[in-house]
Structures are given as C-alpha cells and as structure tokens.
Amino acid sequence: MMSDIPSAAFAVYRLLPSLSPSRGDYRTLLLSGSLRKIIRWQRSGSPEDRPTDVSAEWDGDPRCRPTEFPSPDPGAPVVSRRIADLLGEELLAAGSLLPLRIDGRETDDWLLYLVERVVDCIDPRRSSKPTRSGEIKKAVFRADVVPVELPAFRVPHAPGMVYWNGWAVQRLVELLGDDLEARLIWSVDPSLTPHPNPWGI
C-alpha cells in the first residue's frame, strides 16, 4: 500500500560527489572507455551487451582522498566496499555490483552499481523531452507507478540516467554526509523545489 511507504520515498534524486568547496579537494573515478559499453547496454537492454569487465581510473591529485561515491557519471554510480557491505541487500534489489579494474589493477574495494531495473513511470505530457544526450531536464513522475520499493531505477525515456528514490538517498547521506550531493528531481511535496539543472556538473 502506498500509505505504508514513508513520504521520503516519493521523491526522486540524482546523486553525485559533492561539489561544495567547503569539503576540500578529492579524487573522482572516471570510467573512461568502459562508459561506452555501459551506455550501449543501457540503450539496447541486450544481455550480450551487458558489461562484465569495467575499467576506471582515478582523476585528481593522488594526495587527495577519494570519496565513497566517486563517480560523477549520472548513469554509472560507483560505491565503496563499505557502502556495498552496509547497503548491498537493498542495492541488489535493483541491479548488480561489479568489481572494477582501476588504473590497471583489479579490485573489489570499489564497485560499479549497474542498475538493471527500468520502469516506465514518467508522465511524458508534463515532462520535458529528452535531450540528444539523454537528459530530461524537467521530469514529472506518476506517483502510483514510481518503484518506491527500489533504491534506484532507470526509465525507458532516458535509459542512460540513474534515478534514486528518497529513502535510499537518506540512507546514503547518513553514511556519506557532505561527500554526497543529492539533487531533487521530483517530489509529491509541492513545497519542495526541484534542482534547476539536475544533470549538470
């Protein structure tokens, strides 16, 4: 029943490493050539295109610390092993956690969160059309169809973007604090204002 679900669930966000200057410098993780493989699979949905070998590289001053949510790419979130251990059961409800090869070395200290669940829950009449890059600047969701039981999902109108439900965002913010930026995309609460450019950097 929808009445049994916390109101925080009826809000959808984009997540990215914090851009606040107050938190200092940090390193991000770039998926380089593997990003094309991920996007191809997201668009085709074909099992043959599903990425299995994902490479990445650290970007930034090696003296700076990485964050536990280091990928700025909106369609390819990466989490630390600690986050995966704490939230793995919830995350696996919507996808898979894949180990990475970072700077040529295989590791499971950082895991790509490959979101597999695609749900047609956008109201196309009230939402803006996807751009050529696949971004929907203004997305309005149908509250009765949003998969609030999942931590994250994708939509067929913009398959390369990962949307996060409010309850999962709350859990991650509790664990990551100021290292995580959560941009509101949509909410059932009319008093909340969506971010003007949720997919920008």
Residue 181 lies in a domain: yes
pTM: 0.92
Domain count of the fold of the chain: 1
Q: Which helix (H) or strand (E) holds 56?
A: strand 54-59
Here the contacts of 90-94 (C-beta below 8 Å, separation 24 or greater) are 90/151, 90/168, 90/171, 91/151, 91/152, 93/117, 93/149, 93/150, 93/151, 94/150, 94/151, 94/152, 94/153
Residue 195 lies in a domain: no
Residue 194 lies in a domain: no
Give the span between the Cα atoms of 130 and 159, in whole angstroms.
10
CA–chain centroid gap for 164, Å, is: 6
Residue 14 lies in a domain: yes
Range of the domain at 62: 2-187
Neighbours of 132 (CB within 10 A): 5
- For each of the chain's 201 residues, which pLDDT tens digit applies? 233 334 555 899 999 998 766 566 788 999 988 999 999 999 999 999 999 989 999 998 888 888 999 999 999 999 999 999 999 999 999 999 999 999 999 999 999 999 999 999 999 999 999 998 889 999 999 999 999 999 999 999 999 999 999 999 999 999 999 999 999 999 999 899 999 999 987
For the beta sheet containing 95-102, the strands, ordered from the edge strand earlier in sequence to the opposite edge, are 28-30, 54-59, 95-102, 105-115, 78-80
Residue 197 lies in a domain: no
Residue 200 lies in a domain: no
The residues facing 17 across adjacent strands are: 180
Residue 117 lies in a domain: yes
Residue 196 lies in a domain: no
